[in-house]
Chains A and B, each alone.
Chain A
Amino acid sequence: MPEDTKSPTPPSGQPHAAAPAKPAVPATTPWDSPTVARLKSQYGSGVQEAVTYLGQNYFVLDASVTAEALRILRDEEQFDYCVDITATHNPTRDKQFELIWILYSFARNERIRVKTNIADGASFPSSVSIWPAANWLEREVFDMFGIKFDGHPDMKRILLPEGWKGHPLRKDYGIIQQDQEWVQINLGIESGQ
């Protein structure tokens, strides 16, 4: 996702609850809540953004503080249910991968997203010790993007076979390259088709 959309467009004085009911073009608004305040007081500039978009709240955190912040979110902010862990690949950026945690709190009936950007080849601390649910989700992220999670008990591919080359959800992964290679090796057809 391009960077520019992240900057809040509406006037900063406007409270987020009173956001326009149905704007023609949805926009991000700053997100204020005790949770945000807590993380901001703890990490200061580590909290790069805390915004609301289409009624959904998310943080963008610095990679260095994210693992710790996730634990705080679980232990102190009651985000006890890790809905999903995923990533997006933005090859044009410096830090190519955006890791996304979708969290839910049963007690507060609230759903937030935590995002962080990491560079290609960088690994990230596993959150299996925070939410056991992260086990397969992180394995899938590894399988599809090649992001390694440190401290994961069983970091290996999950959906694709062991010997698969490349990580398909990277933007630079050609869909037919694997197929061509297979055809070349196994059927001996040079063109690969």
Chain B
Amino acid sequence: MGDQITKDPASFISHLELDQPDKTFLDSNELIINMGPQHPATHGVLRVILKLDGEKVLGTECVIGYLHRGVEKIAEHRTYTMFNPYVDRMDYVAAVSNGLGYCEAVEKLMNVQAPPRANYIRVILTELNRLASHQLWLGTHALDIGAMTPLFYTFRDREEILKIFEKYCGARLTTHAFRIGGCLYETYDGFEQDVKKFIDFLPPKIDEYEELLTTNRIWVERTKGVGKITAADCVALGVTGPVLRASGVKWDLRKAQPYAAYSEFDFDIPIGQSGDTYDRYLVRMEEMRQSLRIIRQAVERIPEGPIMAKVPKVIKPAVGEIYHSIEAPKGELGYFIVSDGSTQPYRIRVRPPSFVNLQALDLMVRGQLVADVIAVIGTLDIVLGEVDR
């Protein structure tokens, strides 16, 4: 790493001069298409303005903010504990990861450490959530490319994860599973059995998804070489997560700067070579298998003990600031918290992976076809709740 950016910085900028249409080679005006915010394949309320020459994309501009709820402003008017459930609403398909990042950031700011058992529970639930997030990604991504069936298969299996969440904390989607200092709930009776059953249940199902897609000619043709991005461009654009790894950078915060109990587990970081949509697909599929590996180790070695650290009733971190980031299913999810010594955070900044990754859309689709825009939006795995916060 550490390569210099090979491209002219201006080539990263996606800004369309919409009022001056260029002439295309057929001497006709190009077409400006407004894709979204209500479009079946923009995964929510993303609006992409496409400049097209026939089917070829000349440029894009993303218009975001339709789901902006001012989470960072809300945070300034809530106590640390009260803000905890709000973070679940950002990346609502990976709510557990969001909660983990926030709780750990506040714990770090208060200089307390969650007990080992709590960390193990956190790892298990977070990895289950990563699986759920990747399954949702796979289903919708395949649906965008035209394969309807995987969506239903992944949703069927995701249901099993959500059942575990529901049994653990009563919620399926916005779980609010963790508290500052550890976990509020001890695992329910049979939690280990449920999780073990699930990790035996899923691998054949992953094979099933792969059977439908990995060697499917049309799938390969639609994804190979589509939306290529080099490692240097990824780094320059701040793109993280599976997208970065598919470009060949072996970087995962779980390994690079371990948090929770990740340093105690043995797992691999899958990487790709070409940085195209197919590699990103393979990387995420392998990540699902690695997540299962982590869960298996965690559930087998889960220690006994308390699940909550000694945390005062009123959380009042000392004056100071902290940046803590975790490897969310979509990339680096960071929380920058400034405390003024009161019960309310002075400022919370969320570094959302989807928001930063979405910047790469323009670079990845320029010069490709309309259908590739859909494929690339799918492969970036954005959640608009997180992009807009």
| Chain A positions near chain B (C-beta within 8 angstroms) | 1-2, 5, 22-23, 25-26, 28, 53-54, 56, 78, 80-84, 86, 88-89, 100, 102, 105-107, 109, 111, 113, 128-129, 131-133, 135-137, 140, 144, 153-154, 157-161, 168-169, 171, 173, 175
Closest to A79 in B: B2
Those of B307-336 within 8 Å (CB) of chain A:
318-323, 325, 332, 334, 336
**Is B5 in the interface zone, CB < 8 Å from A?**
yes
A56 adjacent to B65 (CB under 8 Å): no
Interface string of B1-29 (1 = CB under 8 A from A): 11101000110110100000000000000
Closest to A133 in B: B238
B356 adjacent to A107 (CB under 8 Å): no
Interface string of B333-372 (1 = CB under 8 A from A): 0101011110000110101000110110000000000000
B1 adjacent to A54 (CB under 8 Å): no
Other than the known A26-B318, A83-B323, A84-B349, what 20 A-B pairs have Cβ atoms closer than 8 Å?
A: A2-B340, A54-B111, A81-B235, A82-B238, A83-B334, A88-B346, A88-B347, A89-B347, A106-B2, A128-B12, A131-B238, A132-B236, A133-B237, A135-B359, A144-B72, A154-B13, A159-B65, A169-B72, A169-B76, A171-B76
- With a CB–CB cut-off of 8 A, which chain A residues contact B389? 159
B236 adjacent to A106 (CB under 8 Å): no
- Checking B111, B332, B340, B388 against A22 with a beta-carbon cut-off of 8 angstroms, the contacting residue is B111
Name the distance in Å between B196's Cβ and chain A's nearest Cβ. 34
**In the complex where A106-B251, A109-B257 touch, is A153 in contact with B111 (Cβ < 8 A)?**
no
User: Can you list the 8 inter-chain pairs with the closest CB atoms, starting with the nearest?
Assistant: A133-B238, A132-B12, A159-B65, A106-B1, A154-B15, A84-B351, A86-B349, A5-B319
Closest to B336 in A: A86
What is the predominant secondary structure among interface residues of chain B facing chain A?
mixed
- With a CB–CB cut-off of 8 A, which chain A residues contact B12? 128, 132, 135
A107 CA / B9 CA spacing, docked (Å): 22
- Checking A84, A105, A153, A159 against B334 with a beta-carbon cut-off of 8 angstroms, the contacting residue is A84
- Checking B109, B236, B256 against A54 with a beta-carbon cut-off of 8 angstroms, the contacting residue is B109
Name the distance in Å between B351's Cβ and chain A's nearest Cβ. 4
Return 16 A-B CB contacts under 8 Å, by A number: A1-B346, A26-B111, A28-B320, A84-B336, A84-B351, A100-B349, A106-B2, A109-B256, A111-B323, A128-B12, A132-B9, A133-B359, A136-B358, A140-B355, A154-B15, A160-B65
| Chain B positions near chain A (C-beta within 8 angstroms) | 1-3, 5, 9-10, 12-13, 15, 64-65, 68, 70, 72-73, 76-77, 108-109, 111, 235-239, 249, 251, 256-257, 318-323, 325, 332, 334, 336, 338-341, 346-347, 349, 351, 355-356, 358-359, 388-389
Closest to B332 in A: A83
A141 CA / B169 CA spacing, docked (Å): 36
B251 adjacent to A54 (CB under 8 Å): no
How many residue pairs between the two chains, A and B, have CB atoms under 8 Å in the bound complex?
A: 131
A131 adjacent to B236 (CB under 8 Å): yes
Name the distance in Å between A117's Cβ and chain B's nearest Cβ. 14
- With a CB–CB cut-off of 8 A, which chain B residues contact A82? 238
Name the distance in Å between B21's Cβ and chain A's nearest Cβ. 19
A1 adjacent to B238 (CB under 8 Å): no
Name the distance in Å between B88's Cβ and chain A's nearest Cβ. 20
- With a CB–CB cut-off of 8 A, which chain A residues contact B109? 54
- Checking B3, B9, B239, B336 against A128 with a beta-carbon cut-off of 8 angstroms, the contacting residue is B9
- With a CB–CB cut-off of 8 A, which chain A residues contact B325? 83
Q: Which of B2, B340, B359 counts the most chain A CB atoms within 10 A?
A: B2
Name the distance in Å between B361's Cβ and chain A's nearest Cβ. 11
A23 CA / B339 CA spacing, docked (Å): 18
A135 CA / B15 CA spacing, docked (Å): 11
Name the distance in Å between A52's Cβ and chain B's nearest Cβ. 11
Name the distance in Å between A99's Cβ and chain B's nearest Cβ. 12
Closest to B255 in A: A109
B111 adjacent to A159 (CB under 8 Å): no
Q: Which of B3, B12, B235, B349 counts the most chain A CB atoms within 10 A?
A: B349
Name the distance in Å between A161's Cβ and chain B's nearest Cβ. 7
Closest to A105 in B: B2
Name the distance in Å between A65's Cβ and chain B's nearest Cβ. 21
A175 CA / B249 CA spacing, docked (Å): 42
A100 CA / B388 CA spacing, docked (Å): 20
A54 adjacent to B320 (CB under 8 Å): yes
B111 adjacent to A23 (CB under 8 Å): yes
B320 adjacent to A53 (CB under 8 Å): yes
Q: Which of A1, A25, A56 counts the most chain B CB atoms within 10 A?
A: A1
A51 CA / B109 CA spacing, docked (Å): 16
Closest to A159 in B: B65
Name the distance in Å between A106's Cβ and chain B's nearest Cβ. 4
- With a CB–CB cut-off of 8 A, which chain B residues contact A78? 2
- With a CB–CB cut-off of 8 A, which chain B residues contact A158? 64-65
A102 CA / B9 CA spacing, docked (Å): 20
B70 adjacent to A1 (CB under 8 Å): no
- Checking A5, A22, A175 against B73 with a beta-carbon cut-off of 8 angstroms, the contacting residue is A175
A80 adjacent to B72 (CB under 8 Å): no
Name the distance in Å between A113's Cβ and chain B's nearest Cβ. 7
- With a CB–CB cut-off of 8 A, which chain A residues contact B332? 83
A100 CA / B358 CA spacing, docked (Å): 22
Name the distance in Å between A157's Cβ and chain B's nearest Cβ. 8
